[in-house]
Structure 1
Amino acid sequence: MRPEEFRALFPALRSTVWLDTPGAPPGPQPVVDTLRDALDAWSGGGFDWLEWDNAVAEARTLFARLIGVDPATVSAVGSLGEAAATVAASIPRCRVVVPAQEFRSNLFPWTAGHDVVAVPPRHGITRLEDLIDALDEDTGLLAVSEVTSREGQRLDLPALRAATDRVGARLFVNVTQSLGALSFDWAAVRPDYLAVHGYKWLLCPRGAAWLVTRPNLVGELRPLVPGWRSTGPPYGYFAGSLRLAPDAGRCDASPAWLSWMGARAALRLMLSLDARLVERHCLALATQLIERAQDIGLRHPNDGGLSQIVVLQMDEADTAAARLRHGGIRATTLGDRVRFGFHYFNNQEDVDAVVRLLSR
């Protein structure tokens, strides 16, 4: 699918320059149609709740295909925080290294029962070398986001994998701010755990998330809230003893049906795209904005890896964001900076619109 064809699936883009996907994207028409049909069936009583429930298994299979893993290693959960908390509760108490500026859903869960070492930023930036230096033989796990939400920096995951291997630590990777816009090379990273909430770059409704666990570690997983889905299919509903499923489905949350039906539709859409083409498209637009913003005197406070998220530092960032919104451009203010994100539906005209307004 070409970018212009993909763009045509988003009605909101007819009137808005949407650069706020790091917060949340507009709804693609195929996903919205799926949800609308489900609501109509619910309202009219024509729905089949067993079919709705099956959306979880189908979405799991689609997600596994997207990331290149065995569906048996994938848990269907409700959020990134739930994924991190599941791992935190499943592993023995250990020293966990995490960036101090990490998004809280990948920070706070580790504080429950573990000794957290929060690596401070230097000059406002999380430094790859500082994360590596913080690792030692007492470290049990390193938890990072591939793309940092506040800075838009893409961390070198293969380098972090090599560093954790040297000290015998595990690697937990959050790809919520990257998967769907940036391609992911599972063989190069080999994470012990990978988690993503689908409501950003994967275009899912909020409430559908996944945790992938290396096959040799699946047996350690323990559900945060054991329930009827913990035993795996065929599911039972009454009485009996708790015998956890042999695969990662043992940590499935009881599903929010509408979220998972929307996720299934969104993943079908994402699988129609070439991930490498999507990444090249998004990074090209990000590079253009950085270069043109610097030409008009704005600072890009990130000297790390380039991602599809661009953060520009400016005086009166709140005022700038308000002017952008008044001009039909959606972005997010983060203190003294404004954050922009490029998906496959964005184009050159979006960059031109931002530069024109910021130039004023």
Structure 2
Amino acid sequence: MTLDALRARFAPTRGYLNAATCGLPVAGTVAALVDGVERWSRAEHDLADYDAAVAASRAAFARIVGVPTSDVAVAAQTAALVGMVATSLPAGAEVLTVEGDFTSVTYPFLVRTDLRVRAVPLAELAHRIGPSTDVVAFSLVQSYDGAIADTDAVVEAARRVGALTVADLTQAAGWLPVDATRFDVTVTSAYKWLCAPRGVTFLTAGPQARDRLRPVHANWYAGADVWSSVYGHDLRLADDSRRFDLSPAWLCWLGATPALEAFADELAGPVPDAVRGHDVALADALRAGLDLEPAGSAIVSLPDPDGSGGARLARAGLRAAARGGCARLSFHVRNDDDDVAAAVEALRG
């Protein structure tokens, strides 16, 4: 698949600059969801179809982030997976986090009052990892402003002291090429840049990391054989990362498969940087139009304490987000130069 072919899978839209909040569906997702609901309404739904969609989505996501399918677990929300990591830690463990990070990454650790949780600026994250650090938990791309963590420095520093790395890829996977094998654990909600329905979330954990996690959400879908694990007391969890699966919201996964397979074809193809190149070029063009330096991120966050910038965008028919006293604009596959020009005109007006 080429970038143009991927773009063609989306309905033509104008002025939607909000992928960092919620991605737009590919045509295949819309068709799959409509068909799924209609079959459900006629009592023609088949649980085997739902399981097949989960399996196909799992495999596509594994391709996107470069891990074996056996390393991927499925869930509905990021916080549940981060919470599993937090629950797996011994009392007194030190967790290093990022100031202002998304709370689905920080709150699960903070509610454990017997953990030592420290927050540091993103730019200092690698330098603040020390011998007492047990876990480094951070978003690879910050939701607030699109800042990108220095993966090389963080991973190298964590490995020196044996700290577990937990990376939230929610604001990265889909536009920023990611090699999830570099981290011990990753979590990703796929409804933003990967354009799946909300309720589709993934965890990755290799064999060594799996041994450090406790499957506190153990349930029938995490069984070695799913449909033989629905009753009883004989604990038969999967040997691989499926042991961390949460029971899926089935209809969501019908819609996820077309989106994830489309992105897998593009991001795992011969030109994996094509989406990043497209998205970042548009974001940096906006920054240039506002006399700002390029930042190399698909997300642009502009100070907007009184909301006037967001109001001008809305009056111009442009969809963006208000986050933390800023107007946040995010550019993805369906956006083009006309969207940038419209945003520049609105914000300068």
Q: TM-score, normalised by structure 2?
A: 0.92
In structure 2, what is the Cα distance between the partners aligned to 1:167 and 1:203?
A: 37
In structure 1, what is the Cα distance between the partners aligned to 2:244 and 2:3?
A: 37
Q: Which residue of 2 aligns with 1:123?
A: none
Give 1:315 deviation, angstroms: 5.5
Give 1:168 deviation, angstroms: 2.0
1:178 maps onto 2:167 in alignment: no
Q: Which residue of 1 aligns with 2:117?
A: 117
Q: Which residue of 1 aligns with 2:277?
A: 280
Give 1:346 deviation, angstroms: 1.1
Q: Which residue of 1 aligns with 2:101?
A: 102
Q: What is the aligned-residue RMSD (CA, Å)?
A: 2.0
Give 1:225 deviation, angstroms: 2.4
- Count of residue pairs the alignment pairs up: 342
Q: Which residue of 1 aligns with 2:140?
A: 146
Give 1:4 deviation, angstroms: 4.8
In structure 1, what is the Cα distance between the partners aligned to 2:122 and 2:242?
A: 35
What secondary structure is seen at the aligned counterpart in 1 of 2:35? helix
In structure 1, what is the Cα distance between the partners aligned to 2:215 and 2:162?
A: 25
Which of the residues 185, 195, 215 maps onto 2:187?
195
Q: Which residue of 1 aligns with 2:33?
A: 35
What one-letter code is carried by the residue in structure 1 that aligns with 2:172? S
* Partners of 1:7 and 1:346 within 8 A in 2: no
Task: Give the 5 Å matches for 1:200-239.
Answer: 200-236=192-228, 237-239=230-232
Q: Which residue of 2 aligns with 1:128?
A: 123
Q: Which residue of 2 aligns with 1:252?
A: 245
Which residues of structure 1 form unaligned runs of 5+?
Answer: 121-125
What one-letter code is carried by the residue in structure 1 that aligns with 2:200? A
In structure 2, what is the Cα distance between the partners aligned to 1:348 and 1:166?
A: 44
In structure 2, what is the Cα distance between the partners aligned to 1:74 and 1:186?
A: 10
Give 1:194 deviation, angstroms: 0.9
Give 1:3 deviation, angstroms: 4.6
Identity of aligned residues (%): 32
Q: Which residue of 1 aligns with 2:340?
A: 351
Q: Deviations over 1:82-114 (max 9, x none)?
A: 111111122333100001211000001112435
What one-letter code is carried by the residue in structure 1 that aligns with 2:136? L
What secondary structure is seen at the aligned counterpart in 2 of 1:9? coil
What one-letter code is carried by the residue in structure 2 that aligns with 1:65? R
- Once the two structures are overlaid, the 10-residue window that deviates more, 75-84 or 305-314, is 305-314
Q: TM-score, normalised by structure 1?
A: 0.89
In 2 relative to 1, CA 70–156 (structure 1 residues): closer, same or farther, beyond 3 Å?
same
Task: Give the 5 Å matches for 1:32-71.
Answer: 32-71=30-69
What secondary structure is seen at the aligned counterpart in 2 of 1:153? coil
In structure 1, what is the Cα distance between the partners aligned to 2:201 and 2:162?
A: 28
In structure 2, what is the Cα distance between the partners aligned to 1:240 and 1:169?
A: 35
Q: Deviations over 1:228-264 (max 9, x none)?
A: 1222225322224113221111111111001111111
